[in-house]
């Protein structure tokens, strides 16, 4: 089959696809040229990550396109229902990046709890002359052990995060639409320990958490899940983490809560308006920042590439 990996693919995935006899293009095609490229080259399958948008006009223009695969979890850059109604097979790779996203969130959580994000900005500029003052400023850190982490969206990524948090001695609450209990397996050395984690609704969890991490897709109505009302129900000084999608958190409400101290710090990997996020978000001293790199580890991208090759093989066998 002819396949276009418009946002690239890990060499392991590329090698697997080419070894299976598929023709593969990996150069990025600009949106205005994408339909023509697909049609002119009789492309059977389109592979995307988050950069390429697959909307109704593109789907309508590419009648012979057989399948679309999103290398990652969220598929809000694809009009999934419309594509499937048009006869396209639409897939994603939900399991491949869970660990990498969870580790990034833990990195932000450690960073915020010890103000490393801000001290790393100020030390190169002020460290020589203001060392004692900075030591006093950043000498009020918090330990993660004993803190309660609410994980909003308790799927594969949320449960991977729970494993890390439990291993650090944190208490974990899973957040879903219905209250329940979820068993999480935590590996310690060569032993596995099973921990029962309570699962409750967002409204139940908000006042109980010292830190809240979001792992949910962008909402169909475009509204944020965390806005002024939800923030008002949180503990004062809570840490907020978003490695899900820009827009899940109301950025105006986030800035206001950081300035008031209602939120003590935020770890943000995704933004409204990517790839041009707001400057006040970028410059806020209370925010630990990363440029949408949750799944961007070599290991995760290799897993994604190989999972894509497996999906293509499955589709080709039909």
194 carries an active-site annotation: no
> For the chain, what is the radius of gyration of the CA atoms?
22
Domain locations along the chain: 2-96+298-316, 98-289
Render pLDDT for 122-146 as a digit per residue (tens, 0 to 9).
999 999 999 999 999 999 999 999 9
Contact 205, 177 (CB under 8 A): no
Each residue's pLDDT tens digit, 154-206: 999 999 999 999 999 999 999 998 888 999 999 888 889 999 999 999 999 99
Q: How confident is the model at residue 74 (pLDDT cuts 50, 70, 90)?
A: confident
Q: Which numeric CATH code is attached to 2-96+298-316?
A: 3.40.50.720
Residue in 114, 274, 278, 302 annotated catalytic: 274
Kindly report the CATH number that applies to the domain delimited by 98-289.
3.40.50.720
Q: Known catalytic residue: 245? A: yes
pLDDT at 76: 87
DSSP the chain: -EEEETT---HHHHHHHHHTT-EEE-SPPPHHHHHHHHHHTT--EEEE-SSS-B-HHHHHH-TT--EEEESSS--TTB-HHHHHHTT-EEEE-TTTTHHHHHHHHHHHHHHHHTTHHHHHHHHHHHTTTSHHHHHHHT-----STT-EEEEES-SHHHHHHHHHHHHTT-EEEEE-SS-EEEEEEEEETTEEEEEEEEEE-HHHHGGG-SEEEE--PPPTT---SB-HHHHHTSPTTEEEEE-S-TTSB-HHHHHHHHHHTSEEEEEES--TTTTS--HHHHH-TTEEE-SS-TT-SHHHHHHHHHHHHHHHHHHHT-
Which position among 10, 91, 292, 303 bears the catalytic label?
A: 292
146 and 171 Cβ atoms separated by less than 8 Å: yes
Angle (CA) 106 177 192, round 5°: 45
What's the pLDDT at 292? 94
Catalytic pick among 22, 66, 245, 303: 245
Same fold, 2-96+298-316 and 98-289: yes
| Buried/exposed 275-287: b ≥16 CB within 10 Å, e otherwise | eebeeebeebebb
| pLDDT higher than 90, residue 308 | yes
pTM of the model: 0.89
The percent of residues above 90 in pLDDT, for the chain, comes to 90
Q: What percent of the chain has pLDDT over 70?
A: 100
The answer to whether residue 292 is catalytic is yes
| Segment 102-116, tens digit of pLDDT | 999 999 999 999 999
Bridge pairing between strands 89-92 and 148-152: unpaired
């Amino acid at each position: 089959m002819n396949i276009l990996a418009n946002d690239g693919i890990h060499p392991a995935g590329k090698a697997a696809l080419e070894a299976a006899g598929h023709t593969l293009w990996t150069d990025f095609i600009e949106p205005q040229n994408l339909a023509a490229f697909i049609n002119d080259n009789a492309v059977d399958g389109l592979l995307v990550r988050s950069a390429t948008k697959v909307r109704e006009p593109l789907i309508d223009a590419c009648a012979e396109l057989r399948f679309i695969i999103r290398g990652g979890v969220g598929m809000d850059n694809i009009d999934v229902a419309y594509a499937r109604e048009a006869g396209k097979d639409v897939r994603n790779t939900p399991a491949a990046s869970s660990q990498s996203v969870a580790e990034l969130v833990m990195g932000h959580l450690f960073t915020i709890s010890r103000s490393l994000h801000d001290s790393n900005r100020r030390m190169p500029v002020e460290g020589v002359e203001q060392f004692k003052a900075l030591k006093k400023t950043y000498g009020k850190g918090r330990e993660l052990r004993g803190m309660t982490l609410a994980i909003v969206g308790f799927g594969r990524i949320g449960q991977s995060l729970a494993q890390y948090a439990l291993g650090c001695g944190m208490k974990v609450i899973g957040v879903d639409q219905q209250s329940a209990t979820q068993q999480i397996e935590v590996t310690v050395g060569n032993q596995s320990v099973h921990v029962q984690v309570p699962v409750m609704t967002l409204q139940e969890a908000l006042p109980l958490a010292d830190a809240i991490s979001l792992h949910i897709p962008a909402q169909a109505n475009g509204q944020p899940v965390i806005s002024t009302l939800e923030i008002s129900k949180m503990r004062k000084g809570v840490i907020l983490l978003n490695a899900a999608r820009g827009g899940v958190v109301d950025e105006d409400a986030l800035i206001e809560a950081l300035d008031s101290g209602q939120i003590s710090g935020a770890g943000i990997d995704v933004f409204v308006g990517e790839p041009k996020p707001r400057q006040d978000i970028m410059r806020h001293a209370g925010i630990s920042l990363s440029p949408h790199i949750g799944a961007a580890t070599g290991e995760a991208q290799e897993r994604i590439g190989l999972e894509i090759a497996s999906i293509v093989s499955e589709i080709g066998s039909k």
